[in-house]
Each structure stands twice: as structure tokens, then as C-alpha cells.
Amino acid sequence: MENWGCFWLVNRSFSELFCCSLIVVSTGMITGAFGAHGLRQRAGTTPDNIHAWETASSYAVYNGLAMLLLSLHPRFSAHRFAGPAIIGGGLVFSGSIWCLVLAHERLRMLGPATPLGGMVMIAG
């Protein structure tokens, strides 16, 4: 246990994905809390918007947990594509939904990005 610091230096890709996974899980939790408390008080927020927001936040948490498990895999180097695909796809998927809920009229062109992000996420 005393060489734990060296482990992080040697396994840099592990530590990067591990840290990214914690950030993604935290982001999902924070946006979920905002959706449960702050979003409902915004004028013009519909039940469909709240459901979409909850879906995006849940998927962010699930993606973060998947990345966390991937970073702990003993042969992580064999999964070089999976980490970036889950991060990128999840960011596009959840991020586009959050943007559409917050600024639907101004960011309507992001609508087609959501399924593309989902496909990249699934490919990971």
C-alpha cells in the first residue's frame, strides 16, 4: 500500500479514466439534483423536459460507473477505445439533452446529436 503513489504514475491511463469517471458521476449527480429542485421552478418547464433531464442525468451516472469499472479492469490497455467512446458519447448524449431542455429554441440543431452520442456510447 505504501507504493500506491507509484501505481498512479505508472498507470497514467488508469488514473486519467478513473478521475474522468468520478467527474462524470459527480456531474450526473449535480445535474440530477438541479433537475429535481431548480429546473422545476423555471418558467416553461414541461413534464417532458423534466423527464428528459432526469434521463440525461441518470445516463451520466451510469456512464461514469461504467468508466470506473473499466478503469479497474486488469487489462485496461486492451480497452483503449472504450473509455474515450463512453466519455465522448456520454458527453454528447447527456449534454445535448441538457442544452435542449435549457435552451430549446436556440439550440434546436442539437437534436440530431443526441442519438449519435448514444450510438458512440453504446459502441464503447
Q: Which cell is 3 given? A: 507504493
- How far, in Å, CA of 48 to CA of 51, rounded? 5
- How far, in Å, CA of 122 to CA of 65, rounded? 14
pTM above 0.75, yes or no: yes
Q: If you average pLDDT over every residue of the chain, what do you get?
A: 82
Tell which residue, 4, 35, 11, 21, has the closest CA to residue 70.
Answer: 21
In this prediction, residue 1 carries a pLDDT of 46
Q: Which cell is 89 given? A: 458519447
| pLDDT tens for each residue of 9-60 | 445 556 778 888 899 999 999 999 999 888 888 877 889 999 999 999 999 9
